[in-house]
Structure 1
C-alpha cells in the first residue's frame, strides 16, 4: 500500500501533518488549529455566524467555541451521546440530537442551560430547523423515520416514516426538507407543512450518501458518498447532473453561494473544493487536512471552514453487536482545524 500522507505524533498528541504527494494548490489553507482535548468521538459541527459561535458535538457533551478567539465559552453536558445541533431563526434555542438517549435536547443559546428533553425515535442523528413552519426535524437512524417538533410548543407534532436509514438533512427555506437515505442510495424530498414524503429519487452511482448541502438559488443538492463521489442533483426533478470525484471517506458537505463552491470533508485527511459555476464541476483544490477530519461547518460571512479531527488509535475487534467498530480516539487529541483563504 502506498501512503499518500503520514501523521507523526509526539508526546501529548502533538501532530505534524505531512502534505499529500498529489495535493492540488488552491486558494485555501489550514491557518490555525484549536486544541479542545477531552475524550470520546464526535459528529456534526454547526456554525452560528451571527454570534460567532461554533457548536461541536463531542461524545456526551456539546462544545461551544468562540470563533474569534478559538476558546471554549461553554458546553452543554450530561448528554447520552450527541450527533447534531440545530439552531432556530430567533437566536433563542438550540436543539441537540441525543442519539443514545433517543431524545432531542433543547438548550438556551445565551446560558447554554438545558431547558427541555423531547422524546424522538430510535437514535436521532441528523437534525435541522425548518424556518417556514418553525419546526425541528430529527432523523432517526435506527427507526428509519423523522420526528417533527413544533418549536413554539416544544412538542412532537408528527413522525414521518422513511424508506431506510436517514443521514444528513437540508432545507430550501421554502418549506421543503431533503434528506439522504444511506441504506437505499437515494434522496427524499419532504413537505414540511403536510409532514409527508413528496418524492424519493435514486442516487445512481452514489453509495451510502451521508453529508448533504444545497444551493438554494440554483436548486442543486450535493450529496457526498462512499466510493469517493459527490453527487449533484436537481432539487426539483431529482435528475443527477454530475458525479464529482472527492476524497476517501467523505461525511460532510458545505456550499458557498458567494463563491459558488462546494466542499467535501474526507476522513482520509483531505478537503475537496469543487467549482460549481459551470457544468464541468471541476475540482479546483484538494487540501491536506488531518486524517479523521470528516465533518465540518462553514462560516460564509468570513469564508472560513472548521473541521474536527483527532489522533486515532487502533480499531477494537468486530463483534456481532458491533460489526463495524470505529478506531479509538487518543485522549486529549481532539482538535478543530481552521481553514481559510491564503
Structure 2
C-alpha cells in the first residue's frame, strides 16, 4: 500500500499543475475599426473596449454591449477609477483625455493635453493622479484625478508603452525603443530610476506582482522579461508567442498570461518569486494581441477581428496592412 501511494502521488502531481485554459466563446461587437487596450470595471463587472473612435461597454454578466462612448478619436487606453466613479480614456488622434461617468457613461470633461498621441493610461489611487503616456512626444502627462487638471509633463526620453503601479508611490513604464523600464515617483513626479531590461527588445505590455515586487514585460523578440521591482535586476526570461502587446498577472492562481498577436496566449506559472515555467499555449485568433481579466471570475478577454488579403505595395503605401473584414470585430473569451 505504501508503494501504491507513492506511485499515485507521482502520477497525479503533473495533473495538479496542468491547466485546461481554452478559448470558450466570442462576444460580437459592431464596428469595423481597429482596437488597442481594454479594461474591466471590477465593481460593476463591465468591460471597456477601445475601438477606433469609440469605446464599447460590455456587461460581463450578460455578455452584451450596453453602451458606446462616442468621440474618443484614435482611442487607445481606458483607466478605471471606481472610487471617483470615473474612467479616463486616451484619444490618440485628438491629443486629449476623455473623462466619463462610470455609472451613466456621460461625458464629464474632455481634457486637451500637450502630449502627442496619448496611448496607455494609468490611474494611481495612492496619489490620486492619472498618468497618460504619449507615444510621439516621449513623455507622460499627469492629471489630478479629482479636478481633471494637468499638473505636469514628465520627459521620458523614449517611447512609453504600458505601465503599472505599486500603489505605494511608484509607477513603472516600459520604454519600447530603449528596452528600458522607467520608474516615476508619484509625489515628486520625476523619473528616479532607469533600468535596462536586455535581452528584452521592444517591451510593450507590463504587469506587476505586488506580493513579490516583480515586473513582467512582454517584448517584441518573443520573450517575457521578469524584473525585480526593487533593484531593476532582470531575474529571468521565458519564451512567449510572436506579436505580444499585452500581459496580465493573476495573483490568485499565480499565472501570467501573454496575449500574442500571432494567435495564442502563453500561460506561465509562478512557482516562486524567481522561478517560472511555461505551462500552456492556448490557441486564440490572429490579431488578439491585447488582454485583460476579470479578477472576480478569472476570465480573460481579448479583442480581435478577421482580416482580408494584404494589398500590393505602392509608392504611397510601401508597407500596406491587411484590411479588417467588415462585421468581424469581437471579444474572445478565454477561461
Q: TM-score, normalised by structure 1?
A: 0.89
Aligned residue in 1 for 2:69? 76
- 1:38 equivalent to 2:35? Answer no
**Unmatched 5+ stretches in structure 2:** 1-17
Aligned residue in 1 for 2:86? 93
After superposition, the CA RMSD in angstroms is: 1.6
Cα distance in 1 between the residues matched to 2:227 and 2:69 = 36
Q: Which has the larger radius of gyration?
A: 2
- 1:113 equivalent to 2:111? Answer no
SS at match of 1:338: strand
Superposition pairs of residues 279-294 of structure 1, within 5 angstroms: 279-294=274-289
Cα distance in 1 between the residues matched to 2:326 and 2:60 = 23
Question: Number of aligned pairs?
Answer: 316
Superposition pairs of residues 105-144 of structure 1, within 5 angstroms: 105-120=98-113, 121-144=115-138
- 1:194 equivalent to 2:185? Answer no
SS at match of 1:90: helix
Aligned residue in 1 for 2:21? 28
Aligned residue in 2 for 1:8? none
Aligned residue in 1 for 2:261? 267
**Unmatched 5+ stretches in structure 1:** 1-24
Aligned residue in 2 for 1:10? none
Asked if the contact 1:33/1:336 (under 8 Å) is kept, the reply is yes
What is the Cα deviation at residue 114 of structure 1? 1.4
Cα distance in 2 between the residues matched to 1:321 and 1:60 = 25
Cα distance in 2 between the residues matched to 1:267 and 1:309 = 9
Cα distance in 2 between the residues matched to 1:33 and 1:174 = 37
What is the Cα deviation at residue 78 of structure 1? 2.0
Asked if the contact 1:271/1:286 (under 8 Å) is kept, the reply is yes
What is the Cα deviation at residue 315 of structure 1? 3.9
What is the Cα deviation at residue 323 of structure 1? 6.6
Asked if the contact 2:271/2:277 (under 8 Å) is kept, the reply is no
- The structure-2 alpha-carbon separation of the partners of 1:339 and 1:93, relative to structure 1 and needing over 3 Å to count, comes to same
Q: Residue 204 of structure 1 is aligned with which of 198, 202, 209? A: 198
What is the Cα deviation at residue 316 of structure 1? 5.0
Cα distance in 1 between the residues matched to 2:198 and 2:306 = 34
Cα distance in 1 between the residues matched to 2:316 and 2:50 = 24
Q: Looking at both structures, which has the greater relative contact order when contacts are Cα pairs under 8 Å and sequence separation is at least 6?
A: 1
Asked if the contact 1:89/1:131 (under 8 Å) is kept, the reply is no
SS at match of 1:101: coil
